[in-house]
Structure 1
Amino acid sequence: MDTLEKLEVLAGSARYDASCASGGSAGNSGVCHSWSDDGRCVSLLKVLLSNECSYDCAYCLNRSSNSVRRATFTVEELVGLVMRFYRRNYIEGLFLSSAVLRSPDETMARMVSVAERLRTRERFGGYIHMKVIPGSSPALVQRAGEVADRVSVNIELPSSGSLSRLAPQKDRNAILGPMSQLGRTIGERVADRRRSRRAPRFAPAGQSTQMIIGASPESDRQILLLSEALYGRMNLRRVYYSAYVPVVSDNRLPVPASGPPLQREHRLYQADWLLRNYGFSAAELLDDTAPFLDEELDPKAAWALRHPEYFPVDINRADYGVLLRVPGIGVTSARRILSARRFAMLDVDGLKKIGVVLKRARYFIVCGGGVVQRDVMVDERPSVVRRRLLEACNALPAPAASRQLVLPGLR
């Protein structure tokens, strides 16, 4: 194959990796749009170094026993391709992953060489997100963090039992080892740079990971408990949840009754946002009696309905953490409430101006001396409030012939 034929194969193989917030690629070029933490849209070349894998993971399109077109870039080919795209302003960065060639170290060494040549010889100043191959040596993991902006080690499946059943050549410790090393070094370098701006950078955009959802039997509670532990112990920036798509046939895998579990993936992202930004814990959102997220309501609204004893919340007295737990109030509107009420008592009109979503919040709050929704409150009739919330977000079947599911936000 020539370089462009390899690009067609290896860009197509990369599209199943969800560990960067990217949309679909444009044609067979591998150029996709990714979103940074501050909301900027960045064009990336999303590509594999190789899809010639020595592993035989049940869920993977590139598994060694699957019959697909195989290709491998040389280091020089990929460096040249990236620079051609970059100089023509097609891309602002590179997302680089790979199947495991003969060994993790051989694969990782080639990937690191690509990034190092881009940085040193080509003076490439764009963004680099590099996947770290589980089982790679600490020295290669260190070099990856020194040249990449973001690094990620895919944890793949939510439990060691599922990993050994579906990906028997992968080892849980081989995944957690590099992840722990990266998290520790990222934390050390952040501390160093606080003391001196001249301290060298190490993966300044942090590390992320990916979990496949629906290929194994773990509950949402197990998944969120694992994510919570990774955030706490591995200095992790993001966990990406990837709904299982049946791209290969294997008797160890489930047969989805109605396509990929995209609604479940969506709810997990919402719950993950609550863990990272709203002060919730995984144990609060789900327990052993209800181990799966509600598919009809977003996780915060579902939590509020299960805990009517927390409500109603007095908007003019509640602290920031309590305000964040009210459906219809997000981070921005909670901060605006704290700022505005220093000067005057807030009423319904004031909440509307601030940006509170009253069609959701009204059942959970009091303000300006009285309740907002006088006929029903969540602490009195939670089942009625649930139905009204579902009606407000169009999640119940519409009476007309047209039926459309509108996914509610977190607020």
Structure 2
Amino acid sequence: MNYERIKEKLEILADAAKYDVSCSSSGSNRKNNNKGLGNAAPSGICHTYTQDGRCVSLLKILLTNHCIYDCAYCVTRKSNDIKRVAFTVREVVDLTMNFYRRNYIEGLFLSSGIFKNADFTMERLVRVAKLLRLEENFNGYIHLKTIPGASDELMQEAGLYADRLSVNLEIPTQSGLKLLAPEKDHQQMMKPMGFVKNKLIEYKSERKIIKHVPKFAPAGQTTQMIIGATNENDFQIIKVADHFYRNFNLKRVYYSGYVPVLSDSRLPSIGTQVPMVRENRLYQADWLMRFYGFKADEILDKNNPFLDLEVDPKMAWALRNIHEFPVDIQSASLEMILRIPGVGTKSAYKILQARKFQNLSLEHLSKIGVSINRAKYFIDTRSINKNLRFLNRLNFRELLINQTKSKFDNPFNPQLSLFDNDAFSLR
């Protein structure tokens, strides 16, 4: 094996893979300089997080940066003057196993440019997963990016060897995709997503009857949308996400702010970048739809098509629907409790249980896990809550925003800040 050549390929193809955020890379750059254990810095190492909070390290690479398409937003577009390389199937398998044996990774995230056509590329992606499972007896996590246009046979085989499958929607709207990638269309991308959805249902049903039916993509499927390359507003974006959650049973939709790296009159100018806070707000809106019972039309509408960058979507809804508050915490429904700013899903269920035994105070709610610094303005605890006097003030929103700038936070002080340190929190 030519180690210098492999290293060069790894650097190029790991760098090209960084624009795909659908494996939740942590962006860690911690290096091992003192002969310690592990190293988060090598090319291609990224991190994803499980539902129980565990951090899983993945080898994140492209099979190749060759591509037959000329998508304006993609760094590997056909017309871009970059050095082109490709791994062989065996090289990817060996890299994965060698990284795993050194405890660098626990799994593989494999995507690719398109070689000759969809099937030609997809066959190689599947072969990587198949060799890892059958020859190397590798039982770690494998996430394959599927190729739109690939045959159903290859898609089915991919689901039998990979834990998760995904195909990127790329641009949220068909018109935006046609502008920047005229060779592609959303129907081409939705076909494999529909196939995976149907197979997931089919295999799940069969497993109820036949015990030894193999698992098919047990971690489900995801997609990713690029935000800011075209002029879609946030309302359009979350409506698209809502459509795919309802009709394709997706596990996650990822939102990737466009990073201008190419000069093209159809794209934002180099040097401009989508604010990170916009990505954060989209993820927060996404969580409201998935876990808090909100509909897309409640979060935004045609008259208010952009998410508020100063307050999170849940707080923004509360401020627009101030007539729904304060909420009587002793009698309110679960649906309404989940809509109180500062109350998370776990806290909401704890409230339902705890209120059976006593009237809950702000102190009780704090111990349950409620973020009192937000919730205190919206909750009637049947005891004195002096913070409710702020609820009907005309400048209530400005008061809350100004308090977020407070450096110190005391949950029972009238001058506490609105948010805690978790920028993604929806509680």
Residues 278-297 of structure 1: CA deviation (Å, up to 9, x unaligned): 00010000011100000000
Query: 1:224 touches 1:282 (CA, 8 Å); kept in 2?
Result: yes
- Residue pairs, 1:20-59, within 5 angstroms: 20-24=23-27, 26-59=40-73
Residue 223 (structure 2) pairs with residue 212 (structure 1): no
Larger mean Cα displacement after TM superposition, 313-322 or 188-197: 188-197
Residue 141 (structure 2) pairs with residue 127 (structure 1): yes
Aligned pair partner of 2:8 in 1, 5, 21: 5
Separation of aligned partners in 2, 1:86 and 1:234: 33
Residue 398 (structure 2) pairs with residue 387 (structure 1): yes
Match of 2:175 in 1: 161
Instruction: Name the TM-score, length of structure 1 as normaliser.
Output: 0.93
Separation of aligned partners in 2, 1:283 and 1:246: 31
Separation of aligned partners in 2, 1:197 and 1:22: 35
Residue 298 (structure 2) pairs with residue 287 (structure 1): no
Match of 2:311 in 1: 297
Match of 1:14 in 2: 17
Q: CA deviation at 1:409?
A: 2.4
1:388 partner SS = helix
Match of 2:425 in 1: 409
Query: 1:315 touches 1:367 (CA, 8 Å); kept in 2?
Result: yes
Query: 1:347 touches 1:367 (CA, 8 Å); kept in 2?
Result: yes
Q: CA deviation at 1:167?
A: 0.9
- Residue pairs, 1:96-111, within 5 angstroms: 96-111=110-125
Query: 1:13 touches 1:48 (CA, 8 Å); kept in 2?
Result: yes
Query: 2:326 touches 2:388 (CA, 8 Å); kept in 1?
Result: no
Separation of aligned partners in 2, 1:250 and 1:239: 27
Residues 98-146 of structure 1: CA deviation (Å, up to 9, x unaligned): 0011111100011101110111111111100000011111111111111
Separation of aligned partners in 2, 1:140 and 1:43: 27
Separation of aligned partners in 1, 2:424 and 2:259: 24
Alpha-carbon spacing, 1:190–1:252, altered in 2? closer, same or farther (3 Å): same
Query: 1:22 touches 1:33 (CA, 8 Å); kept in 2?
Result: yes
Separation of aligned partners in 1, 2:211 and 2:290: 27
Structure 1, unmatched stretches of 5+, are 397-404
Separation of aligned partners in 1, 2:406 and 2:149: 45
Residue 277 (structure 2) pairs with residue 274 (structure 1): no
Which structure 1 residue ranges, 4+ long, deviate > 4 Å from structure 2? Answer: 25-28, 369-372
Equivalent residue letter for 2:404:
C
Query: 1:337 touches 1:354 (CA, 8 Å); kept in 2?
Result: yes
Residues 213-257 of structure 1: CA deviation (Å, up to 9, x unaligned): 000111100100110010011010000000010011111102277
Q: CA deviation at 1:407?
A: 3.6
Equivalent residue letter for 1:150:
R
Q: CA deviation at 1:314?
A: 0.2
Q: CA deviation at 1:29?
A: 2.3
Residue 212 (structure 2) pairs with residue 201 (structure 1): no
Count of residues in correspondence between the two structures: 400
Alpha-carbon spacing, 1:209–1:386, altered in 2? closer, same or farther (3 Å): same
Query: 1:49 touches 1:96 (CA, 8 Å); kept in 2?
Result: yes
Match of 1:400 in 2: none
2:387 partner SS = coil
Separation of aligned partners in 2, 1:300 and 1:395: 21
Alpha-carbon spacing, 1:260–1:73, altered in 2? closer, same or farther (3 Å): same
Query: 1:184 touches 1:235 (CA, 8 Å); kept in 2?
Result: no
Query: 1:133 touches 1:153 (CA, 8 Å); kept in 2?
Result: yes
Separation of aligned partners in 1, 2:406 and 2:362: 26
Match of 2:412 in 1: none
Q: CA deviation at 1:147?
A: 0.5
Q: CA deviation at 1:367?
A: 0.7
Question: What do you get for the CA RMSD once the two structures are aligned?
Answer: 1.8
Alpha-carbon spacing, 1:110–1:374, altered in 2? closer, same or farther (3 Å): closer
Separation of aligned partners in 1, 2:362 and 2:94: 60
Q: CA deviation at 1:189?
A: 2.0
2:142 partner SS = strand
Residue 192 (structure 2) pairs with residue 178 (structure 1): yes
Equivalent residue letter for 2:83:
R
Separation of aligned partners in 2, 1:352 and 1:337: 11
Residue 237 (structure 2) pairs with residue 223 (structure 1): yes
Separation of aligned partners in 2, 1:350 and 1:53: 58
Residue 251 (structure 2) pairs with residue 240 (structure 1): no
